[in-house]
Amino acid sequence: MKISKDFEEKLREMVEKEMKGILDELKERTKKFTEETVGFYKNETFSFSKKLEEGFLELKEINKEVQKKLLEESEGKIKSLEEEIKKEVSKFIQANSEIRKSLFEESKKQAESVIKNLDEELKENLEKVNQIIYKTLAQAEREIEEYKKEKLKEVDERIYKILNEVAKNILGKTIDLSTHEKLVIESLEKAKKEVI
């Protein structure tokens, strides 16, 4: 059973249009998620850097005041405090680095999860489209076969009517269907032999 090229082309266009829509939606959702993640990361990094800078400036001011007081008391205490301040700043920088790394890893995991979910959705939609195509093709084949049988039956009935009329005119009488069929088959076989 063959399907017309027009039907096949329309079906292909329909499937391509559906797939293009799904892929466009997938790209749009991925782009939006990436932009949101990058925006969130930038805002968090900027906010954290600003707080770090403010904290460092505060530490600098405190350090100046402490240095002034401690200079009056003792030079040893100043060195000790400077070391403590350096350690705190180092810890703060380390914490900032870990937070950045954590934010990046979390964003990466979320992006991978979204891509995986979208990939699964795409596979499910492709399967659904394939099932629809197969069902549509099977239904079309059944309808074409039924139409073909019906038309062949109509043609057979017309031929029998015409042959009956011809036989009636030639023989001048009506013959029953079985005799008529026998005469037609004999005539066809005779015609085949003469042609061969």
Q: What is the pLDDT of residue 183?
A: 72
Identify the band that residue 2 occupies on the pLDDT scale cut at 50, 70 and 90.
low
The yes-or-no verdict on residue 196 having pLDDT over 50 is no
With a threshold of 0.75, does the pTM exceed it? Answer: no
Q: Please tell me the distance from the alpha carbon of residue 140 to that of residue 68, in angstroms, as a whole number.
A: 95
100-109, 143-152, 161-170: least confidently modelled range: 161-170
Task: Specify the higher pLDDT residue, 19 or 44.
Answer: 19
pLDDT in tens, 56-86: 777 777 777 766 766 676 666 667 777 888 8
**C-alpha distance from residue 116 to each of 32, 122, 123, 124, 170 (Å):** 16, 10, 11, 12, 80
pLDDT in tens, 105-150: 887 888 788 888 877 888 887 888 888 888 888 888 898 989 888 8
Q: What is the pLDDT of residue 172?
A: 56
Q: Taking the domains of the chain in order of start, what are their residue ranges? A: 5-140
Q: What is the pLDDT of residue 192?
A: 62
Q: How much is the mean pLDDT over the chain?
A: 77
44-48, 57-61, 76-80, 151-155: least confidently modelled range: 76-80
Q: What is the pLDDT of residue 50?
A: 79
Q: Phi/psi at 183 (nearest 5 deg)?
A: -65, -40
Q: Are 121 and 3 in contact (CB under 8 A)?
A: no
